[in-house]
Amino acid sequence: MRYDLGEVITAMITPFKEDLSVDYNALERLVNHLIETGSDAILVAGTTGETPTLSHDEEAEIFSFVKKVVNSRVKIIMGAGSNSTETAVSSSLKAKELGADAILTVVPYYNKPSQKGMYEHFSSVASSVDLPVILYNIPGRTGVNMLPATVSKLAKEFKNIVAVKQSNSDLDLISDIKSLCPEDFTIYCGDDSLTLPMMSLGAHGVISVASHIAGKEIKNMVNAFKSGRVQEALKIHLNLYPLFRKIFMAPNPVPVKSALAHFGLINEYVRKPLVTLDDSEKQELFSVVDKYACFVK
């Protein structure tokens, strides 16, 4: 492994006050909660953190605050992606300046680059900054799929490209990436419900949303699988599966914010164009997440 960021990384939400400014008191509570419930690392300023509606100044302020609260207890990764290569490079340099342990950088969205364009984009990022880089492939949001051959070429040419977060339900792609990439290259699952299946094909762990609620149990599932206790891991997966599905019943991070507010950790406010769940949707969500309340305490 080129650089070990841990097995359970939480893509952290950004809590807001009623006026939609960042709620730093809630953020401190949340960071401590995540560390206490099994997160090996925290991803700041990812999509789950509502970066489409955060300014770059806000992202920097949030990261600096989180770094202070973490106080070296776990690693901190900063989301530094953009559909502009120039912006992705400048964001990566800013992450280095702020003291990030690594960056997550997404396939450019909306402008739908070719595989060659993706290669050029990530080459520019990796060449610009002396930090471990996690590639992020999420075709449902970007509109294009980064092919395993492109991942492999980048992994072979840039030692600081250490991992890929794969948010694609086509599990054959995991086999392809595992077959084509160097042995020390890391694969992270980007969809909670696919963590165990992807690990069976060689994924190292998960960049998770559900770990806001069930971090210890997700960590237990990962540890059980890696220790050869496959049936135990499967039992945990099946127990968590309703949670994995329900926290994506609406655009992320709306449901997980509602769940965390329900448990008293944050307020549920989101910035438009996201909107909070209505009462019937909350009833549907809480009927499931209440079964996991013991994991939040």
Q: Which helix (H) or strand (E) holds 284?
A: helix 279-289
Q: How far apart are CA 223 and CA 186, in angstroms?
A: 17
Query: Catalytic annotation on 136?
Result: yes
Peptide bond before residue 273 is cis, with ω within 30 degrees of 0: yes
Q: Which of 67, 75, 153, 165 is catalytic?
A: 165
Q: Which residues contact 40 (CB under 8 A, 6 or more apart)?
A: 5, 6, 7, 8, 9, 74, 75, 205, 219
- Taking the C-alpha atoms of residue 91 and residue 93, their distance in angstroms, rounded to an integer, is 5
Task: Please say if 165 is a catalytic residue.
Answer: yes
Burial status of residue 190 (CB atoms within 10 A of its CB: 0-12, 13-18, 19 or more): buried
Q: Which residues pair with 44 in a beta bridge?
A: 78
Q: Are 256 and 12 in contact (CB under 8 A)?
A: no
- Give me the catalytic one of 109, 119, 136, 292: 136
- Return the structure tokens found at 164: 């890929």
| 131 Cβ contact partners less than 8 Å away, ≥ 6 residues apart | 92, 95, 96, 100, 101, 102, 103, 160
Residues marked as catalytic? 136, 165
